[in-house]
Structure 1
Amino acid sequence: MPTLTKLYSMEETATHNKQDDCWIVIDGKVYDVSSYMDDHPGGDDVLLAVTGKDATDEFEDAGHSKDARELMEKYFIGELDESSVPEMPELKIYKKEQPTDSVQKLVDFTMQYWLVPVSIITISVAVRVLLSRKR
């Protein structure tokens, strides 16, 4: 007869967040690592920091060895009840309105940034021509 795996909610798992009572969730599995806290190579702070949330990303980012993965099975106590995990809100992307008259925008942009230098050059040329005629 197969053994039934106990299901734990994320809320219940999150309540076990102390040095002597620490549960973590990795890949949908719940582990009671309370007795492993002093032996964890990264220290107990690392484990305490991931209680109450899915620690899969942190676990994978740390690059755990095959031996570490096998050792985890010793602390396995059940599965995470996926229905207890709050859904991520849907990401909405809003597109910025495109200018309706792109030619006019281009003309305005050009005028704004080129009007002053062109004016200065034109005035300088006119002054030079006038001064050279006086001589």
Structure 2
Amino acid sequence: MPTLTKLYSMEEAALHNTPDDCWVVVDGKIYDVTKYLDDHPGGADVLLAVTGKDATEEFDDAGHSKSAKELMQDYFIGELDPPPEIPEMEVFRKEQGMGFASELMDNAMRYWAIPAAAIGISAVVAILYARRK
């Protein structure tokens, strides 16, 4: 019968951050390294410094050997529970259409010279007509 892997949240893993109770998260897997603190070649402080966050980058940067990675399996206790997926929001774009009135106003603002010229010509014609009488 296959064993089920226990799932933990990052918040729960972060609570184990003392020399008497130390969990480390690497590649989405959780390791209880409490008993390994004194044996860690880099010292206990290195492990304690990465509790409460994802230590994958620090682990990879340290260049651990294959045997070190195999040794980790002795301390494996579970995996991070993946966060729920948040659906992507639909963004309204200006190009999606805004209705006739909005498009008319948009065009009037874009081509303001045409209405301004029509008003200007009408004003000149009205003034000239009024002078003739």
- Residue 83 (str. 1) matches residue 78 (str. 2): no
> 2:39 matched to 1:35?
no
Q: Which residue of 1 aligns with 2:87?
A: none
How far does the alpha carbon of each residue in 1:72-118 deviate from its partner, in whole angstroms, 9 at most, with x for none?
A: 0000000011217xxxxxxxxxxxxxxxxxxxxxxxxxxxxxxxxxx
Structure 2 residue 48 is matched with structure 1 residue 48: yes
CA distance in 2, matches of 1:22, 1:53: 12
Q: CA RMSD in A?
A: 0.9
- Give runs of ≥4 in structure 1 deviating > 4 Å: none
Q: Distance in 2 between matches of 1:33 and 1:50?
A: 12
Q: Equivalent residue of 1:74, what SS? A: helix
Deviations 1:37-64 (A, max 9, x none): 0000000010001001000000000000
Provide the rounded CA distance (Å) in 1 between the counterparts of 2:73 and 2:63: 17
- Point out where structure 1 has 5 or more consecutive residues left out of the alignment: 85-135
Determine the C-alpha separation between the residues in 2 that align with 1:60 and 1:82.
21
Q: Whole-Å Cα distance in 1 between the matches of residues 82 and 68 of structure 2? A: 25
Structure-2-length-normalised TM-score: 0.62
Question: 5+ residue gaps in structure 2?
Answer: 85-133
Instruction: Report how many residues are paired.
Output: 84
Give the distance between the partners of 1:56 and 1:49, measured in 2 at CA.
13
Report percent identity of matched pairs. 76
CA distance in 1: counterparts of 2:41 and 2:34, whole angstroms: 14
